[in-house]
Chain A
Amino acid sequence: MTVSPSLSLAQRLRLWVSRPAGPPAKAVQFDRALTPWAFLVPQLAIVVIFFYWPSAQAVTSSFYLEDPFGFGATFVGLDNYADLSRSNEYRQIAGFTAFFSAVVTALALGLGLLLAVKADKVIRAAGPYKTALISVYAIAPPVAALIGMMLFDLHIGPATQFAALFGYDLRVGIDYWDTAFALIVISVWKQVPYNFIFFLSGLQSVPVSVREAALIDARSGWRRFVDVTLPLLAPTAFFLLIINVTYALFDTFGIIDVIVKDKPANNPMTLVYKVYLDGFKGNDIGGSSAQSVVLMVLVAVLTVVQFRLLERRVHYG
Chain B
Amino acid sequence: MWKIKPFDHLILFLGTLFLLAPVVLAVMSSTHSAVEIHTGGLFLTPGTEGAATYAKVLTARGGFTGDVTGLSMLMNSLILGVGFAVGKIVLSMMAAYALVYFRFRFATAIFWMIFATLLLPLEVRIMPSYQVMSDLHLLNTYTGLIVPLLASATGTFYFRQFFKSVPDELLEAARIDGAGPVKFFLDILVPLSRTMMAAIFIIMFVYGWNQYLWPILMTTDEHFFTLMRGIKAILQVWVGSQIPDYNEAFALAVLAMVPPVLVVIVFQRMFIKGLTESDK
Contacts and interface: CB of A to CB of B under 8 A. Distances in A.
A and B touch in the complex (CB under 8 A): yes
Interface of A: 1-5, 9, 12-13, 16, 20-33, 35-37, 39-40, 42-44, 46-47, 49-55, 57-58, 61, 111, 114-115, 118-119, 121-122, 125, 129-144, 146-148, 150-151, 155-158, 161, 189, 192-193, 197-198, 201-202, 239, 243, 246, 250, 253-254, 257-258, 261, 272, 275-276, 279-280, 285, 288-289, 292, 295-296, 299-300, 303
A23 B99 contact: yes
A140 B209 contact: yes
A146 B254 CA distance: 10
B125 A296 contact: yes
A55 B113 contact: no
A33 B26 CA distance: 57
Nearest to A25: B100
24 contacts: A3-B277, A21-B112, A25-B100, A35-B182, A36-B107, A40-B95, A43-B91, A54-B128, A54-B129, A115-B11, A115-B12, A132-B20, A134-B272, A135-B261, A137-B264, A139-B261, A140-B228, A142-B231, A198-B276, A239-B279, A253-B212, A276-B213, A289-B127, A299-B119
Contacts of B124: 58, 250, 272, 275, 292, 295-296, 299
Contact of B15 (A27, A37, A114): A114
Contact of B108 (A22, A119, A193): A22
Contacts of B195: 1-2
A26 B277 contact: no
A156 B127 CA distance: 37
A42 to B, nearest CB: 5
A156 B25 contact: no
Contacts, number: 334
Nearest to A49: B132
A125 B9 contact: yes
B120 A300 contact: yes
A26 B164 contact: yes
A302 to B, nearest CB: 9
Given A115-B15, A261-B239, A140 B210 contact: yes
Interface residues of B, number: 114
A49 B250 CA distance: 38
B165 interface: yes
Given A39-B97, A131-B268, A147 B38 contact: no
B246 interface: yes
A132 B277 contact: no
Contact of B129 (A2, A50, A125): A50
A58 to B, nearest CB: 5
Interface string B17-45: 01110110110010000000110011000
A29 B271 contact: no
Nearest to B29: A150
Contacts of A139: 23, 210, 257, 260-261
Nearest to A194: B275
Contacts of B164: 25-26
Interface of B: 5, 8-9, 11-12, 15-16, 18-20, 22-23, 25-26, 29, 37-38, 41-42, 90-92, 94-95, 97-104, 107-108, 110-115, 117, 119-121, 123-132, 136, 147-148, 150-153, 156-157, 160-165, 168, 171-172, 181-182, 185, 192, 195-196, 206, 209-210, 212-213, 216-217, 228, 231-232, 235-236, 238-239, 246, 249-250, 252-253, 256-257, 260-261, 263-265, 268, 271-273, 275-280
A3 B278 contact: yes
Given A20-B115, A148-B22, 16 more contacts: A1-B195, A2-B196, A29-B102, A35-B102, A42-B94, A54-B129, A138-B260, A139-B210, A150-B26, A151-B42, A189-B22, A197-B276, A257-B232, A285-B127, A292-B126, A299-B119
A254 B113 contact: no
A296 B120 contact: yes
B94 A261 contact: no
Contacts of B94: 39-40, 42-43
Nearest to A115: B15
A254 to B, nearest CB: 4
Contacts of A289: 127-128
A28 B172 contact: yes
B128 A57 contact: yes
B125 A292 contact: yes
Contact of B279 (A13, A33, A134, A161): A13
Nearest to B216: A257
A25 B195 CA distance: 22
